[in-house]
């Protein structure tokens, strides 16, 4: 069957969007297979994941994301900004702020405009972080919830487990450029302490308001940015007394502004969303 798609990116974290509100794609094909095939950088379109636009019974619209390896994730922060821009600009949603059903619960994006009335940035109410072992899920030693020792090969790594609907392990390092992100990230991603695997963020503190981050993503490898990861990193940095609750996160693909509103416990993430191209592919 021929399927229309749009490719978009948020700070270089790139996604292929498909509208399956009629259910036609799901009737003929399987989403994990489509993700593996289309995300391939040499044999496909190339992306970190695919995102489906779907009907919701509880919210304005429903969002599902599959990583490049075909695994389904609960949420995606960069993908959500692109989703909001695409839905607003194509007229699928006609309000700048709306509610989205995800496997991580309700997420609320709001689009902002430039002088030409084009979407310039998107702020997303990402909901509340979760820190309890059952919610992450994390089965390791939690004597001190913000620095859990995990054995990786011959080393012990101290990490902070955080859920933003999807699991994250935040590791503080002195210099992110010196990191072999794949070498350290892979065993943490697949560590038995994380029964659903985990995304891994390597964080270098710049000052109270800025951090540098590199990320090893569950199901996708090293990416240029991770929105849920940036939120988890700010939660971990603040809980460890290294930053305030409002932080600019510098990633390989650009910057994200993260604000943890301690009164409501909600996290707000603001950043760009960019259309790359659209097309039709025979699946």
Ligand X SMILES: N[C@@H](CCC[C@H](N)C(=O)O)C(=O)O
Rounded to whole angstroms, the Cα distance separating 50 from 54 reads 13
**184 marked among binding-site residues:** no
Cβ 227 to ligand X, closest distance in Å?
3
User: What token pair was written down for 125?
Assistant: 């109410």
Scanning the structure block, which residue is given the tokens 């948020």?
10
CA distances, 97 to each of 107, 112, 165 (Å):
11, 9, 21
Distance CA 178, CA 184 (A): 12
> Is 199 part of any known ligand binding site?
yes
Considering beta carbons, is residue 140 or 167 the nearer one to ligand X? 167
Closest to ligand X by CB, 228 or 237: 228
Nearest approach, Cβ of 166 to ligand X (angstroms)?
3
Q: Which structure tokens are listed for 22?
A: 């009629």
Q: Which is nearer to ligand X, 199 or 212 (CB)?
A: 199
Strands (E), the chain: 2-10, 13-19, 49-54, 61-67, 72-73, 100-102, 105-113, 119-125, 148-152, 155-163, 167-172, 199-207, 210-217, 221-223, 246-251, 254-261, 266-271, 274-282
Shortest Å distance, C-beta 33 to ligand X? 17
For ligand X, the closer of residues 13 and 237 by Cβ is 13
- Catalytic positions, please? 76, 226
Dist. CA 270–CA 101, nearest whole Å: 19
CB of residue 205 vs ligand X: minimum separation in angstroms?
21
Alpha carbon 263 to its chain centroid, in Å, reads 24
Torsion of CA 219, 61, 260, 189, to 10 degrees: -10
Is 37 annotated as contributing to ligand binding?
A: no
Backbone angles phi, psi at 91, to 5 degrees: 80, 5
Nearer to ligand X, 65 or 144 (CB): 65
217 marked as part of a ligand binding site: yes
The answer to whether 207 is a known ligand-binding residue is: no
Q: Which residues contact ligand X (rule: CB under 6 A)?
A: 13, 67, 73, 76-79, 166, 199, 217-220, 223, 226-229
Q: How far is the CB of 266 from ligand X (least distance, A)?
A: 16
219 is in an annotated binding site: no
Measured between alpha carbons, how far is 112 from 259 in angstroms, rounded to an integer? 17
> Is 13 a known ligand-binding residue?
yes
Q: What is the largest CA-CA distance in the chain?
A: 56
Q: Which residues are annotated as a binding site for substrate?
A: 13, 67, 77-78, 166, 199, 217-218, 227-228
Q: Which residues are annotated as a binding site?
A: 13, 67, 77-78, 166, 199, 217-218, 227-228
């Amino acid at each position: 069957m021929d399927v229309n798609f749009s490719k978009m990116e948020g700070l270089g974290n790139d996604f292929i969007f498909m509208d399956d509100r009629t259910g036609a794609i799901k009737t003929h094909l399987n989403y994990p297979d489509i993700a593996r095939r289309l995300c391939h950088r040499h044999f496909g379109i190339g992306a970190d994941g695919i995102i489906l636009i779907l009907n919701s019974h509880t919210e304005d619209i429903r969002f599902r994301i599959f990583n490049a390896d075909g695994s389904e994730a609960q949420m995606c922060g960069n993908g959500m900004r692109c989703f909001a821009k695409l839905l607003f600009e194509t007229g699928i949603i006609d309000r700048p702020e709306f509610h989205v059903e995800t496997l991580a619960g309700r997420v609320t994006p709001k689009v902002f405009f430039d002088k030409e009335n084009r979407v310039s940035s998107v702020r997303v109410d990402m909901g509340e972080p979760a820190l309890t072992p059952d919610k992450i899920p994390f089965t390791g030693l939690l004597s001190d919830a913000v620095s859990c020792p995990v054995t990786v090969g011959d080393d012990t790594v101290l990490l902070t487990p955080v859920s933003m609907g999807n699991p994250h392990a935040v590791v503080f390092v002195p210099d992110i450029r010196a990191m072999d992100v794949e070498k350290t990230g892979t065993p943490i991603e697949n560590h038995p302490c994380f029964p659903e695997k985990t995304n891994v963020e390597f964080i270098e503190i710049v000052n109270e308001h800025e951090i540098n981050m590199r990320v090893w993503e569950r199901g996708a490898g090293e990416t240029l940015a991770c929105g849920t990861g940036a939120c988890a990193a700010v939660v971990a940095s603040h809980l460890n007394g290294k930053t305030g609750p409002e932080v600019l996160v510098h990633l390989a693909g650009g910057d994200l502004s993260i604000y943890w509103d301690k009164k409501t416990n909600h996290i707000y993430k603001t950043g760009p969303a960019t259309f790359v191209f659209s097309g039709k592919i025979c699946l």
